Amino acid sequence: MGKRRNKRIYERNIYYTVLKYYVGLFFRLSYGKREYHGIDKLPTDGALIFAPNHTNALMDAMAVLDLDNRPKVFAARADIFKKPLLARIFFFLRIMPINRIRDGRSTLKDNDQTIKNSAEVLKNNVPFVILPEGTHRPMHSLLPLGKGIFRIALLANEEIAGEKPVYIVPMGLEYGNFFRYRSSLLLNIGEPINVTQYVAAHPGSEDPVIMNNLKERLQESMKKLILYIPDDAYYDATWELCNMSCSSRIRQLDLNPNSLIDRLTANQHTVRLIWERREKDPKTSKQLLEEIDRFALQRKRKRISMASVANPRPDLSLASRLFFLVLLFPYFLACTVISGPTLLLTRLICSRMEDMAFHNSVRYVTTLLVWTLTLLVSFFVLFGLIAWEYALAAIIVLIPAPLVFYEYYKWLRTVRSDFRWLRAGDMRKDKELFVQWIL
pLDDT in tens, 332-369: 999 999 999 999 999 999 999 989 999 999 999 999 99
Q: What is the pLDDT of residues 159-209, one digit of tens each?
A: 887 789 999 999 999 999 999 999 999 999 999 999 999 999 998 899 999
| Number of domains the chain is built from | 3
- Same-domain pairing of 375 and 404: yes
* Residue 312 belongs to a domain: no
* Residue 7 belongs to a domain: no
Side-chain-side CA neighbours of residue 217 (13 Å): 18
Q: What is the pTM of this model?
A: 0.91
138 band by pLDDT with thresholds 50, 70 and 90: very high
Please tell me the distance from the alpha carbon of residue 137 to that of residue 143, in angstroms, as a whole number.
Answer: 8
Mean pLDDT of 104-125: 73
The closest alpha carbon to 378, from 363, 366, 364, 393, belongs to: 393
- Same-domain pairing of 284 and 384: no
Assign residue 364 a region (left: φ > 0; alpha: ψ between -120 and 50; beta: otherwise). Answer: alpha
Mean pLDDT of 213-241: 95
- Same-domain pairing of 294 and 335: no
- Same-domain pairing of 326 and 417: yes
* Residue 1 belongs to a domain: no
* Residue 391 belongs to a domain: yes
- Same-domain pairing of 217 and 271: no
Whole-number Cα distances in Å, 267 to 245, 271, 272, 273, 432: 8, 6, 9, 10, 17
Please tell me the distance from the alpha carbon of residue 129 to that of residue 293, in angstroms, as a whole number.
Answer: 37
- Same-domain pairing of 271 and 331: no
Angle in degrees, 0-180, between the axes of helices 148-160 and 207-225, rounded to the nearest 10: 120
Give me the torsion for CA of 64, 246, 253, 55, rounded to 10°: -20
Helical H segments across 161-206, by residue range: 195-201
Please tell me the distance from the alpha carbon of residue 53 to that of residue 228, in angstroms, as a whole number.
Answer: 11
The closest alpha carbon to 237, from 160, 199, 292, belongs to: 292
The pLDDT value recorded for residue 7 is 77
- The residue length of the chain stands at 439
Please tell me the distance from the alpha carbon of residue 257 to that of residue 193, in angstroms, as a whole number.
Answer: 31
Q: Which of 202, 225, 248 is the last residue of a domain?
A: 225
Q: Which of 5-9, 177-181, 206-210, 390-394 shows the lowest per-residue confidence on average (mean pLDDT)?
A: 5-9
- Same-domain pairing of 44 and 179: yes
Q: What is the pLDDT of residues 15-49, one digit of tens each?
A: 888 899 999 999 999 999 999 999 999 999 999 99
Whole-number Cα distances in Å, 50 to 47, 106, 293: 10, 27, 36
Q: Which of 225, 257, 285 is the last residue of a domain?
A: 225
- Same-domain pairing of 412 and 295: no
Please tell me the distance from the alpha carbon of residue 261 to that of residue 130, in angstroms, as a whole number.
Answer: 24
Q: Does residue 178 contact residue 56 with C-beta atoms inside 8 Å?
A: yes
Whole-number Cα distances in Å, 317 to 323, 325, 417, 422, 427: 10, 12, 11, 11, 19
- Same-domain pairing of 282 and 342: no
- Same-domain pairing of 187 and 219: yes
Q: Which of 159, 194, 225 is the last residue of a domain?
A: 225
* Residue 307 belongs to a domain: no
Mean pLDDT of 79-107: 74
The pLDDT value recorded for residue 2 is 47
117 band by pLDDT with thresholds 50, 70 and 90: confident
* Residue 9 belongs to a domain: no
- Same-domain pairing of 139 and 193: yes
* Residue 230 belongs to a domain: no
Residues contacting 236, CB < 8 A, separation 6+: 293, 296
Statement: residue 119 has pLDDT above 60: yes
Mean pLDDT of 386-408: 93
The pLDDT value recorded for residue 13 is 84
Q: Give the range of the structural domain holding residue 245, as residue numbers without chain letter.
A: 235-302+425-438
Q: For the range 201-205, what are the long-range contacts, defined as Cβ-Cβ under 8 Å and sequence gap of 24 or more?
A: none
For residue 237, the tally of other CB atoms under 10 A from its CB is 23
- Same-domain pairing of 345 and 404: yes
Angle in degrees, 0-180, between the axes of helices 235-252 and 260-280, rounded to the nearest 10: 120
Rg of the chain's alpha carbons, rounded to an integer?
24
The pLDDT value recorded for residue 101 is 54
Helical H segments across 76-231, by residue range: 84-92, 111-123, 148-160, 195-201, 207-225
Q: Which of 107-116, 234-243, 244-253 shows the lowest per-residue confidence on average (mean pLDDT)?
A: 107-116
Q: Which amino acid is residue 62, in one-letter code? A: M
CATH number at residue 120: 3.40.1130.10
Phi first, then psi, for residue 183 (nearest 5°) are -80, -150
* Residue 30 belongs to a domain: yes
Mean pLDDT of 132-159: 91
